[in-house]
Amino acid sequence: MNKKVLTSLAAVGLVTAYATTAMASSGFENTVNSQLGNGASVSCDACHNGATGSSTATFPMANTYRAARTAGDFTLIATSDSDGDGYINKFEVNGAATEFNVATTSPFTKAAAANGDANVKALADTTAVSVTFTDPNGLAGTGKEILGGIKVTLNQADTIYFKAGGVGTTDTVYTVDAAGAGTALASTDWTSGVDGSLKIMALPAGSTFPADIVVVRTLPATAAAPVLTNGTASTTGCITSSLSTPFMMVFALVSLGFFVRRKKVSHDAAS
Protein backbone atom coordinates (compact mmCIF):
# COMPACT_ATOMS: atom_id res chain seq x y z
CA MET A 1 0.00 0.00 0.00
CA ASN A 2 1.49 3.38 -1.00
CA LYS A 3 1.89 6.48 1.16
CA LYS A 4 -1.12 8.20 -0.41
CA VAL A 5 -3.41 5.38 0.67
CA LEU A 6 -1.94 5.40 4.18
CA THR A 7 -2.43 9.15 4.42
CA SER A 8 -6.02 8.80 3.26
CA LEU A 9 -6.71 6.13 5.87
CA ALA A 10 -5.27 8.29 8.63
CA ALA A 11 -7.30 11.28 7.46
CA VAL A 12 -10.50 9.24 7.46
CA GLY A 13 -9.72 8.08 10.98
CA LEU A 14 -9.10 11.60 12.24
CA VAL A 15 -12.30 12.91 10.67
CA THR A 16 -14.19 10.03 12.29
CA ALA A 17 -12.61 10.86 15.66
CA TYR A 18 -13.54 14.52 15.35
CA ALA A 19 -17.11 13.78 14.31
CA THR A 20 -17.59 11.22 17.06
CA THR A 21 -16.22 13.63 19.67
CA ALA A 22 -18.54 16.39 18.46
CA MET A 23 -21.53 14.09 18.63
CA ALA A 24 -20.47 12.91 22.10
CA SER A 25 -20.17 16.48 23.39
CA SER A 26 -23.62 17.28 22.01
CA GLY A 27 -24.93 14.12 23.61
CA PHE A 28 -23.66 15.15 27.05
CA GLU A 29 -25.25 18.59 26.74
CA ASN A 30 -28.56 17.07 25.62
CA THR A 31 -28.53 14.63 28.54
CA VAL A 32 -27.84 17.35 31.10
CA ASN A 33 -30.43 19.76 29.68
CA SER A 34 -33.14 17.14 29.28
CA GLN A 35 -32.67 15.95 32.86
CA LEU A 36 -32.59 19.45 34.34
CA GLY A 37 -35.67 20.59 32.41
CA ASN A 38 -37.16 23.99 33.35
CA GLY A 39 -35.75 25.58 30.19
CA ALA A 40 -32.12 24.56 30.77
CA SER A 41 -29.84 25.30 27.80
CA VAL A 42 -26.35 24.82 29.24
CA SER A 43 -23.33 23.96 27.10
CA CYS A 44 -19.91 22.39 27.72
CA ASP A 45 -19.05 25.03 30.34
CA ALA A 46 -21.49 23.32 32.69
CA CYS A 47 -18.76 20.73 33.29
CA HIS A 48 -15.55 22.08 31.76
CA ASN A 49 -13.31 24.88 32.97
CA GLY A 50 -11.96 25.75 29.54
CA ALA A 51 -11.67 23.59 26.43
CA THR A 52 -13.35 20.18 26.57
CA GLY A 53 -11.19 17.34 27.84
CA SER A 54 -10.86 15.17 30.94
CA SER A 55 -8.39 17.55 32.62
CA THR A 56 -10.87 20.45 32.43
CA ALA A 57 -13.98 18.55 33.59
CA THR A 58 -13.55 19.86 37.13
CA PHE A 59 -16.75 21.80 37.83
CA PRO A 60 -19.25 20.32 40.34
CA MET A 61 -21.66 19.28 37.56
CA ALA A 62 -18.90 17.15 36.00
CA ASN A 63 -18.65 15.18 39.23
CA THR A 64 -22.42 14.77 39.32
CA TYR A 65 -22.41 13.56 35.71
CA ARG A 66 -19.75 10.94 36.53
CA ALA A 67 -21.71 9.76 39.57
CA ALA A 68 -24.92 9.52 37.53
CA ARG A 69 -23.18 7.56 34.76
CA THR A 70 -21.57 5.18 37.26
CA ALA A 71 -24.91 4.61 38.99
CA GLY A 72 -26.72 4.23 35.66
CA ASP A 73 -29.21 6.83 36.88
CA PHE A 74 -29.10 10.13 35.00
CA THR A 75 -31.99 11.56 37.04
CA LEU A 76 -29.26 12.31 39.61
CA ILE A 77 -28.22 15.21 37.35
CA ALA A 78 -31.41 17.00 38.41
CA THR A 79 -31.85 15.70 41.96
CA SER A 80 -28.25 16.18 43.19
CA ASP A 81 -26.96 19.34 44.82
CA SER A 82 -23.74 19.75 42.85
CA ASP A 83 -22.47 22.92 44.53
CA GLY A 84 -23.63 22.00 48.05
CA ASP A 85 -25.74 25.12 48.63
CA GLY A 86 -28.82 23.11 49.64
CA TYR A 87 -30.68 23.61 46.37
CA ILE A 88 -30.78 20.63 44.01
CA ASN A 89 -29.66 21.33 40.46
CA LYS A 90 -33.10 21.52 38.85
CA PHE A 91 -33.99 24.35 41.27
CA GLU A 92 -31.02 26.38 39.99
CA VAL A 93 -31.79 26.24 36.28
CA ASN A 94 -31.48 29.65 34.63
CA GLY A 95 -31.25 29.15 30.87
CA ALA A 96 -27.61 28.83 29.84
CA ALA A 97 -26.30 29.95 33.25
CA THR A 98 -24.59 27.37 35.48
CA GLU A 99 -25.69 28.51 38.93
CA PHE A 100 -25.71 24.88 40.11
CA ASN A 101 -21.89 25.17 40.12
CA VAL A 102 -21.81 28.29 42.32
CA ALA A 103 -22.47 27.79 46.04
CA THR A 104 -22.76 31.52 46.69
CA THR A 105 -25.70 31.90 44.28
CA SER A 106 -29.04 30.24 44.99
CA PRO A 107 -32.74 31.05 44.75
CA PHE A 108 -32.48 32.21 48.38
CA THR A 109 -29.70 34.70 47.68
CA LYS A 110 -31.61 35.94 44.63
CA ALA A 111 -34.63 36.60 46.88
CA ALA A 112 -32.46 38.46 49.39
CA ALA A 113 -34.44 41.70 49.14
CA ALA A 114 -37.63 40.00 50.35
CA ASN A 115 -38.94 40.00 53.93
CA GLY A 116 -37.70 37.66 56.64
CA ASP A 117 -34.37 37.10 58.33
CA ALA A 118 -30.98 35.41 57.77
CA ASN A 119 -32.56 31.96 57.35
CA VAL A 120 -35.78 32.58 55.45
CA LYS A 121 -37.26 35.06 52.97
CA ALA A 122 -40.97 35.69 52.55
CA LEU A 123 -42.24 37.57 49.52
CA ALA A 124 -45.18 39.34 51.18
CA ASP A 125 -45.22 38.77 54.95
CA THR A 126 -43.26 41.68 56.46
CA THR A 127 -43.22 40.07 59.90
CA ALA A 128 -42.06 36.60 58.86
CA VAL A 129 -39.35 35.30 61.17
CA SER A 130 -37.58 31.99 61.88
CA VAL A 131 -36.37 30.35 65.09
CA THR A 132 -34.52 27.10 65.82
CA PHE A 133 -36.67 23.99 65.87
CA THR A 134 -35.29 20.94 67.71
CA ASP A 135 -37.93 18.47 66.45
CA PRO A 136 -38.88 17.04 69.88
CA ASN A 137 -41.44 14.66 68.39
CA GLY A 138 -39.21 13.21 65.65
CA LEU A 139 -41.02 14.50 62.56
CA ALA A 140 -37.85 13.89 60.51
CA GLY A 141 -36.94 10.23 60.19
CA THR A 142 -33.86 8.45 58.80
CA GLY A 143 -32.40 10.14 55.75
CA LYS A 144 -34.53 13.24 56.30
CA GLU A 145 -34.05 16.59 57.99
CA ILE A 146 -35.89 19.60 59.31
CA LEU A 147 -35.03 22.05 56.56
CA GLY A 148 -32.64 24.59 58.03
CA GLY A 149 -33.35 23.27 61.54
CA ILE A 150 -35.95 26.03 61.87
CA LYS A 151 -39.63 26.80 62.04
CA VAL A 152 -41.01 29.84 60.25
CA THR A 153 -43.77 31.97 61.70
CA LEU A 154 -46.11 33.23 58.97
CA ASN A 155 -48.95 35.68 59.47
CA GLN A 156 -50.50 35.07 56.06
CA ALA A 157 -50.44 32.75 53.08
CA ASP A 158 -47.17 33.44 51.29
CA THR A 159 -44.23 32.17 49.22
CA ILE A 160 -41.03 31.63 51.17
CA TYR A 161 -37.40 30.67 50.47
CA PHE A 162 -35.14 28.79 52.87
CA LYS A 163 -31.43 29.58 53.01
CA ALA A 164 -30.76 25.89 53.73
CA GLY A 165 -32.29 24.67 50.48
CA GLY A 166 -35.31 24.17 48.30
CA VAL A 167 -38.58 22.39 48.94
CA GLY A 168 -39.59 19.56 46.62
CA THR A 169 -42.86 17.82 45.88
CA THR A 170 -41.80 14.73 47.86
CA ASP A 171 -41.15 16.76 51.02
CA THR A 172 -43.68 17.20 53.81
CA VAL A 173 -44.87 20.54 55.20
CA TYR A 174 -46.20 20.81 58.75
CA THR A 175 -47.70 23.32 61.10
CA VAL A 176 -46.35 22.76 64.62
CA ASP A 177 -47.73 23.73 67.99
CA ALA A 178 -45.88 25.01 71.04
CA ALA A 179 -44.96 21.43 72.05
CA GLY A 180 -43.50 20.66 68.60
CA ALA A 181 -46.34 18.35 67.53
CA GLY A 182 -46.93 18.56 63.80
CA THR A 183 -49.97 18.53 61.54
CA ALA A 184 -49.19 17.86 57.88
CA LEU A 185 -50.56 20.20 55.25
CA ALA A 186 -52.53 18.53 52.48
CA SER A 187 -50.87 18.48 49.08
CA THR A 188 -53.53 20.92 47.88
CA ASP A 189 -52.57 23.44 50.57
CA TRP A 190 -48.99 24.06 49.37
CA THR A 191 -46.86 23.81 46.28
CA SER A 192 -43.17 23.72 45.37
CA GLY A 193 -41.93 26.27 42.84
CA VAL A 194 -39.56 25.39 39.99
CA ASP A 195 -36.87 27.22 42.00
CA GLY A 196 -37.53 25.32 45.24
CA SER A 197 -39.67 28.02 46.83
CA LEU A 198 -42.52 27.01 49.13
CA LYS A 199 -45.93 28.52 48.52
CA ILE A 200 -48.37 28.16 51.42
CA MET A 201 -51.94 28.54 50.18
CA ALA A 202 -53.98 27.23 53.14
CA LEU A 203 -53.59 25.65 56.58
CA PRO A 204 -54.99 22.38 57.95
CA ALA A 205 -58.59 22.51 59.19
CA GLY A 206 -58.76 24.19 62.59
CA SER A 207 -55.44 26.06 62.13
CA THR A 208 -55.23 29.82 61.75
CA PHE A 209 -52.54 32.40 61.10
CA PRO A 210 -50.10 33.17 62.60
CA ALA A 211 -48.75 29.65 62.11
CA ASP A 212 -45.39 28.00 62.67
CA ILE A 213 -44.26 26.10 59.55
CA VAL A 214 -41.57 23.43 59.28
CA VAL A 215 -40.48 21.39 56.28
CA VAL A 216 -39.23 17.79 56.44
CA ARG A 217 -37.18 16.93 53.36
CA THR A 218 -35.03 14.11 52.04
CA LEU A 219 -31.33 14.94 52.08
CA PRO A 220 -30.09 15.63 48.53
CA ALA A 221 -26.97 13.98 47.10
CA THR A 222 -23.92 16.23 46.81
CA ALA A 223 -21.08 16.07 44.28
CA ALA A 224 -17.85 14.37 45.30
CA ALA A 225 -14.51 16.05 44.66
CA PRO A 226 -12.98 15.10 41.29
CA VAL A 227 -10.75 12.04 41.34
CA LEU A 228 -7.19 13.02 40.37
CA THR A 229 -4.73 10.82 38.50
CA ASN A 230 -1.16 12.09 38.04
CA GLY A 231 -2.30 15.63 38.79
CA THR A 232 -5.20 15.70 36.31
CA ALA A 233 -8.88 14.93 36.51
CA SER A 234 -9.82 11.26 36.33
CA THR A 235 -9.97 9.77 32.84
CA THR A 236 -13.51 8.72 33.64
CA GLY A 237 -14.38 12.28 32.65
CA CYS A 238 -17.09 12.69 30.05
CA ILE A 239 -14.96 13.59 27.03
CA THR A 240 -12.07 11.19 27.58
CA SER A 241 -14.25 8.10 27.68
CA SER A 242 -15.88 9.14 24.42
CA LEU A 243 -12.58 9.82 22.70
CA SER A 244 -11.18 6.38 23.40
CA THR A 245 -13.24 4.71 20.70
CA PRO A 246 -12.38 7.07 17.79
CA PHE A 247 -8.68 7.11 18.68
CA MET A 248 -8.67 3.33 18.72
CA MET A 249 -10.27 3.47 15.26
CA VAL A 250 -7.45 5.70 13.99
CA PHE A 251 -4.84 3.35 15.41
CA ALA A 252 -6.57 0.33 13.89
CA LEU A 253 -6.82 1.94 10.45
CA VAL A 254 -3.16 2.96 10.37
CA SER A 255 -2.06 -0.44 11.66
CA LEU A 256 -4.15 -2.14 8.99
CA GLY A 257 -2.49 0.02 6.34
CA PHE A 258 1.01 -0.96 7.45
CA PHE A 259 -0.02 -4.63 7.63
CA VAL A 260 -1.40 -4.58 4.08
CA ARG A 261 1.70 -2.77 2.82
CA ARG A 262 4.06 -5.33 4.42
CA LYS A 263 2.02 -8.18 2.99
CA LYS A 264 2.22 -6.64 -0.50
CA VAL A 265 6.00 -6.17 -0.23
CA SER A 266 6.39 -9.80 0.88
CA HIS A 267 4.25 -10.96 -2.02
CA ASP A 268 6.24 -8.91 -4.54
CA ALA A 269 9.50 -10.29 -3.16
CA ALA A 270 8.21 -13.83 -3.46
CA SER A 271 7.27 -13.19 -7.08
Which residues, given as ranges, of the chain have pLDDT below 70?
A: 1-26, 223-271
Backbone angles phi, psi at 229, to 5 degrees: -130, 115
The confidence score (pLDDT) of residue 90 equals: 97
Report whether 164 contacts 196 (CB < 8 A): no
The confidence score (pLDDT) of residue 220 equals: 86
Strand pairing of 80-81 and 221-222?
A: parallel
Q: What residues have CB less than 8 Å from 217, skipping those under 6 apart? A: 144, 145, 147, 165, 167, 168, 171, 172
Q: What residues have CB less than 8 Å from 8, skipping those under 6 apart? A: none
Closest CA to 36 of 58, 68, 59: 68
The confidence score (pLDDT) of residue 27 equals: 82
The confidence score (pLDDT) of residue 4 equals: 56
The confidence score (pLDDT) of residue 66 equals: 94
Q: Considering the entire predicted model, what is its pTM?
A: 0.76
The alpha helices in 37-123, defined as continuous H runs, are 60-71, 76-79, 107-110
Backbone angles phi, psi at 143, to 5 degrees: 80, 5
